[in-house]
Amino acid sequence: MEAMGVLMTFPMNPYLEEQLDSRFNLFRLWNFPDQKDFFKNNASSIRAAAVNTNIGANQELIDSLPGLEIVASCSGGLDKVDLEYCKKKGIRVTNTPDVLTDDVADVAIGLILALLRKICECDGYVKAGLWNKGLGRIGAAIAKRAEAFNCPISYYSRLRKPESKYNYFSGVVELASNCDILVVSCALTEETHHIVNRDVINALGPNGFLINIGRGSHVDEPELVSALIEGRLAGAGLDVFENEPNVSEELFSLDNVVLLPHVVTGTVQTRNAMADIVIGNLEAHFLNKPFLTPVI
């Protein structure tokens, strides 16, 4: 295969870089401080972009690459890729949806257990030397794990899933009113931005817990912080935040939250599997074969 120019917008993982380097003419955007000069000298040779949820493909990037044919996202989420503009320009888009499902579901269950059984507090108690001194897929995959704990399971989605055996609610407020633990696991779109707002949080109530392993902007973070401080919500387990990597500092002092640095897919096996899908989609494009995971 002729060496095709591929732009990687953000450091992802060494395996992906190594594999792209061996197959394509790879440009690492972060190595070029003067991006205007970089695009002037190299844009004509770049036909593909490998992106993720840190730096995706917005209109500015797309316009800087007149020969761009494909955007391969090393993530399940596509909120950092301007899909409408890609459609308009005839640029194909792929992602890595299925290989990360189990990891995300596992962390969601882990956050639930950490919150309800106070695992982090217990860990800190032992590590502080106090034990001897004092008193002693994602949505479907999460549901499957929760069944093992004999949890009644309900869900909300844009469309009711007739094959599902779980209880369906037609709105998020209604769902929150009828559950103790609300897990957010959906794509970030205009419709799902702040899908968890003050009304949903209040419906979940002072005995309810919120788990977010989707995107930070699914949740109105200031409203969440206020609810946790005021006791209108029992607790929260968060892997994602609205302004990553910046986290609302008010959360740091709360003992009813568990905070993770966006690591739900952070296993070597899953990250490498995601990388393989990115590579496979790029090779399929340049060999005129069907994509592994087409989006548009």
Secondary structure (3-state) at 52:
coil
Q: Are strands 46-51 and 25-28 parallel, antiparallel or unpaired?
A: unpaired
Amino acid symbol at 32: F
Tell me the CATH number at 193: 3.40.50.720
What is the number of domains present in the chain?
2
Q: What is the band of 214 on the pLDDT scale with cuts at 50, 70, 90?
A: very high
Q: Is residue 207 located within the same domain as residue 281?
A: no
Q: Is residue 192 located within the same domain as residue 242?
A: yes
Segment 66-84 shows an average pLDDT of 95
Cα 145 to Cα 21, 113, 149, 159, distances in angstroms: 39, 12, 8, 23
Per-residue confidence (pLDDT) for residue 132, from 0 to 100: 54
Q: Are strands 46-51 and 70-73 parallel, antiparallel or unpaired?
A: parallel
What's the CA gap between 68 and 285, in Å, rounded?
A: 12
Cα 58 to chain centroid, rounded: 18
Q: Is residue 106 located within the same domain as residue 253?
A: yes
What's the CA gap between 200 and 173, in Å, rounded?
A: 5
Q: What is the band of 130 on the pLDDT scale with cuts at 50, 70, 90?
A: low
**Contact predicate 284/292, CB 8 Å:** yes
Q: Is residue 118 located within the same domain as residue 222?
A: yes
- Which residues form the domain of 69? 5-95+268-286
Q: Is residue 178 located within the same domain as residue 133?
A: yes
Better-scored residue on pLDDT, 136 or 246: 246
Cα 74 to Cα 10, 12, 241, 268, distances in angstroms: 11, 8, 19, 14
The overall pTM is greater than 0.95: no
Per-residue confidence (pLDDT) for residue 122, from 0 to 100: 65
Catalytic residues: 215, 244, 262
Segment 251-277 shows an average pLDDT of 89
Q: What is the band of 180 on the pLDDT scale with cuts at 50, 70, 90?
A: very high
Q: Is residue 111 located within the same domain as residue 212?
A: yes
Q: Is residue 246 located within the same domain as residue 190?
A: yes
What's the CA gap between 47 and 180, in Å, rounded?
A: 48
Residue 287 in tokens: 């060999």
pLDDT of residue 260 exceeding 70:
yes
Q: Is residue 122 located within the same domain as residue 252?
A: yes
Q: Is residue 239 located within the same domain as residue 140?
A: yes
Per-residue confidence (pLDDT) for residue 135, from 0 to 100: 43
Q: Is residue 128 located within the same domain as residue 240?
A: yes
* pLDDT tens by residue, 137-170: 688 888 888 888 888 999 998 888 888 889 999 9
Q: Is residue 160 located within the same domain as residue 221?
A: yes
Segment 14-26 shows an average pLDDT of 96
Q: What is the band of 125 on the pLDDT scale with cuts at 50, 70, 90?
A: low
Cα 18 to Cα 14, 31, 93, 102, 156, distances in angstroms: 6, 16, 22, 25, 41
